[in-house]
Amino acid sequence: MLSKFIFLYCALVIVITGILAVRFRNPVHSVLAVLVLFFHMAGLYLLLNAEFLAAIQIIVYAGAILVLYLFVLFLVNIRQEIKTERFVANHNISKFISFLVFLILIAVTQSFRLGTPGKWTTDAIRQATHTKALGIEIFTSYILPFEIIALILLVAVVGGILLAKQDKQEVVMAQKEGSGSLTRGGKK
């Protein structure tokens, strides 16, 4: 009963903050909404018996990835969302289509059936502790995906460095303009 209540609370907050993150005009407010969302995701993971994932959700997502989002916000330097004309004037068609998709999703959820429980039941995970169970699964059954993660992270490092590479010419031009904003912050 109580677990159902906590689940519904977390799910409700996740949906609301998700909508708010899209709706807020100030991008920093959106990031704060996403922060609340991440914390409630961690609560859901705890309810699902996945305490390691809950901790990771807070450490990596709320800690590191949100910082990255904030850096991106500061890089693009928009104070407020730019107001433009609507791309599509007629909203009713899109509303109708999204309502149809909503109905289809409702219909599909009726056909969900629970699968048969596998090796890791709630009791088995509690006995082995979640982190250990996760470790055994990663390092025996999912070796290849694990090594692919390393490759994906490598791509992220190389891509990030290449994207953020400053051409020497651009730096000189920015300094000539007198803004000096490219190297600001480091010299403080």
Contacting positions for other proteins (CB under 8 A) = 2-4, 6-7, 46-49, 51-52, 56, 59-60, 63-65, 67-68, 71-72, 74-75, 77, 79, 114, 122, 129, 131-132, 134-136, 138-140, 143, 146-147, 149-151, 153-154, 156-158, 160-161, 164-166, 181-186
Nearest to 31 by CA among 39, 21, 19: 21
Report the nearest approach of other proteins to the CB of residue 38 (Å): 14
- Cβ distance to other proteins smaller for residue 90 or 116: 116
- Give the length of the chain: 188
Report the nearest approach of other proteins to the CB of residue 13 (Å): 13
DSSP designation for 19: H
- Cβ distance to other proteins smaller for residue 98 or 166: 166
Do residues 66 and 38 touch, judged by C-beta distance below 8 A? yes
Go through 71-99 and write b for each residue having 16 or more CB atoms within 10 A of its CB, e for each that does not: eeeeeeeeeeeeeeeeeeeeeeeeeeeee
Report the nearest approach of other proteins to the CB of residue 153 (Å): 5
With residue 167 as reference, give the H or E element that holds it: none
- Cβ distance to other proteins smaller for residue 20 or 46: 46
Structure tokens at 154: 């490598």
Report the nearest approach of other proteins to the CB of residue 20 (Å): 19
Nearest to 82 by CA among 26, 30, 33: 26
Report the nearest approach of other proteins to the CB of residue 39 (Å): 9
